[in-house]
Every structure is written in structure tokens, then in C-alpha cells.
Amino acid sequence: MEDQAGTGGAVAEIPGAALQIGEFSLASRLVVGTGKYATYSEMARCLDASGTDCVTVAVRRERLLNAAGENILDHLDTTRYTLLPNTAGCFTADDAVRVARLGRELLRDLGNPGSEWVKLEVLGDQKTLLPDPVGTLAATERLVADGFTVLVYTSDDPVVAKRLKDLGAASVMPAGSPIGSGQGILNANSLRICLEYLKDGDPGYPVIVDAGVGTASDVAAAMELGVDGVLLNTAIAHAADPLRMARAMRAACEAGHEAFLAGRIPRKRYATASSPEDGRIGGSTT
Amino acid sequence: MSSKSIGGEIIVTVNGTDHQLPSGSTAHDLVASLGLEGRPVAVELNEHVVPRVELPGRVLHQDDRLEIVTLVGGG
């Protein structure tokens, strides 16, 4: 009774083994953010250690005074990583659409394939950074109509998740817990229902847990539920040893995905011995 | 802000701050005057993106609002 979902035998891997999102094919199931690192060189080392081939970036006003400083692009190999521009910090659909279009222009200039997709965030509340579902739905519809491959940050609400997919989102990305909170997966049950709804009749539809990861076991737990990938940033960037945590995240993502494919045993209340019952010493022979 | 140009100058808003430019300046002239030519920036004029190749042909007008953005670290 305790764990009827998420059990029940091995799962056939979708052929190709890469994370497929619309026209985009990624080798790693980990998408890593580029914010909050102490230095750009530390960021570059951590991205390398994480094994990712897709990194998120934000769009912000250029400094008009003293603009000659370092740019993140001086430290990102744009031939190695597909950049995924986000609309972080937008609280209206209008702002999110504007930022998405600016990100597209920036990436087209760079010749990076990431110009044609966007990580859409429309936030509803400064304190929680939880998504505004109404604005998120509106912006998804507009960006899909504008030709974007939309990867959309949302809550773990299965009904909203399904609506976003129906509007044409290429990937729905439920939060495990609030952005940067490090609380991991707070509602595995909701995520399971999201997965069931989003993959119903469409098992290859990519679902990515975006936000909330605190440590490696959170990534493994998410992947074991059957999500296709995990997007994280703070858990690496603010770890006491970011480089070591980047390695841990890579291993956890692979371990969790393998465990999902392998099919975990059901949970049972009582013990089942691993060693044979027969042939123990001291008893009477039968 | 006055809506008239004064002495062959116009005032436009760039990233929320007023900038004075000679009348007839283009979006490209503005980017160059800020030392951003060749830098990874995108330009939005009155809430519409202006592709880089169109910047030299886009003449600015009094009270135009521009955003000049770049990529930064983010999650």
C-alpha cells in the first residue's frame, strides 16, 4: 500500500538514451545553472565536472558604465554547451515574452542552437518565487506561437502541468520545492501524478524537475520517480566544495536514472531474509 | 520630460536612464557611443527587439525607450 506507484519491474529505455526535448538532443540528463558561483572559473570547472551539455543563462541589462568587465561568455564554451536562456525575474507574461525574444537575439548572434528555446518563468510571488500559473499559461501560448521550444517552470500541480503541455510546451518542469530552498522533492506524490498525466500515451514526453535540489540524494530521488532530467544551480554553486558537489550531482543523476530503469522492489512492512531459511545450524533435521 | 528636441539633440531612455544624443542618431550610434560595439548585447526599442543587422538603419527619436541587455549567470 505504501508505494504502489513507482514500483513494478524494469522500464524500457526510450531508444537513443539521450534527453530529447523537441528538436534538442542532450547527452546529459542534468541541466546546470550558471548563477551564484564565486568566480567564473569556478563555474567553468563545475560545469565540466557535472557532465552537463546544457546550461541556463539569464538576460539582464548591460552595465552602461564600466561595461568593459568580464562577460560570462568569456568563460562558457558555446560550442560545447547548448545555452538555455531563462526569463527569471519576470512577474508578467509580457515581460517574459520580451526577455525570451531578447535572449533569442543574443543567442542567434552567438550562433548557439539555444536561440530557439527558452526556459520560461513567470513568477507570482517575490518571497516564494512560485510560478504565477495564469501568467505562465499565457506566456507559454504566446511563445509557442512565436516558434519557441518552450521549457516551462511550474509548480508540481498536475492539472496546470497538463494544461501547459496541451498549450504546446516542449517540456514541463515542475519544481521539487521553492527555487534555491534546498528542500529537495517535497511532494513526490504530486510529481508522480504529473508524470502519469504528462506521459499518458506519450512516454517520451520530457519532464524535468526544476528547482529545489539541496544535495545529491534529491537528484537521485527525482530521477528514481521517472523524471527525464533535473535542472539545478544553487546546490552546486553554494556547496562548501562546489566542484565535489558537481561530481556528486553527476553520479546521482546517473544512479537515479539507472535505478528507475532497473525497477525498485516494493516496500514491505516486515523483513524478508536475504540468506536461506534452510540449512541453518542447531535445529533438528527434517 | 519635454517632447521637443533641443538644439539638435534628442533625449532617449536607455536601461531606465536618460541619454542625450544628436538628432539623427541611430541605434547603432548609441551602442557604439556606449562602447558596446562588438560586445554580446541585444537591443530592444520601444519593447521590440531590433536585430543587430538592423541597428545602423534604425534612427532614434525623442523619448524612445531602449533596453540593452546581455547574458549573465542564472539558473
A-chain CB neighbours of B73 within 8 Å are: 33-37, 40, 43, 57-58, 72
pLDDT band at B37 (very low <50, low <70, confident <90, very high): very high
Domain that holds residue B60: 9-69
DSSP 3-state percent helix, strand, coil across chain A (nearest 5): 35, 15, 45
Give the pLDDT confidence of A145-154 residue by residue, as tens digits: 999 999 999 9
CA distance A238 to chain B (A): 13
Delimit the domains of chain A by residue range. Answer: 25-59+73-262
Instruction: Specify whether the backbone of A124 is left (phi greater than 0), alpha (psi in -120 to 50) or beta.
Output: alpha
AA letter at A275: S
Residue A77 sits at the chain B interface (C-beta within 8 Å): no
Q: Residue A151: which residues within 8 A CB-CB, separation 6 or more?
A: A21, A84, A117, A118, A119, A120, A169, A170, A171, A173, A208
CB of A72 closer than 8 Å to CB of A57: yes
Candidates A55, A61, A123, A232, partner chain B, best to mutate (most B CBs within 10 A): A61
Q: Do B67 and A102 touch (CB under 8 A)?
A: yes
Q: Do A101 and B47 touch (CB under 8 A)?
A: no
CB of A181 closer than 8 Å to CB of A157: no
Per the structure block, which three cell numbers stand in for B37? Answer: 560595439
Give percent of chain B with pLDDT exceeding 70. 91
pLDDT of residue B2 exceeding 50, the answer is no
Q: Which residue in this structure is represented by grid cell 498536475?
A: A158
Does B18 map to a domain? yes
Catalytic option among A119, A127, A199, A268: A119
pLDDT by residue for chain A (286 residues), tens only, comes to 344 444 556 776 665 558 999 999 999 999 999 999 999 999 999 999 999 999 999 999 998 875 567 899 999 999 999 999 999 999 999 999 999 999 999 999 999 999 999 999 999 999 999 999 999 999 999 999 999 999 999 999 999 999 999 999 999 999 999 999 999 999 999 999 999 999 999 999 999 999 999 999 999 999 999 999 999 999 999 999 999 999 999 999 999 999 999 999 999 999 999 999 999 998 776 5
Q: Do B51 and A105 touch (CB under 8 A)?
A: yes
- Strand partners of residue B50: B43
- A119 assigned to active site: yes
Q: Do B73 and A36 touch (CB under 8 A)?
A: yes
Does B22 map to a domain? yes
Does B34 map to a domain? yes
AA letter at A137: L
What angle is formed at CA B42 by the lines to CA B49 and CA B51, rounded to 5 degrees? 50
CA distance A175 to chain B (A): 13
AA letter at A47: L
Element (H, E) at B28: helix B27-33
Which CATH superfamily, name and number, covers A25-59+73-262? Aldolase class I (3.20.20.70)
pLDDT band at B21 (very low <50, low <70, confident <90, very high): very high
- Looking at residue A69, its pLDDT comes to 77
Report the C-alpha gap between A28 and A251 in whole angstroms: 11
Report the C-alpha gap between A85 and A182 in whole angstroms: 22
Q: Do A59 and B17 touch (CB under 8 A)?
A: no
* CATH code for the domain in which residue B36 is found: 3.10.20.30
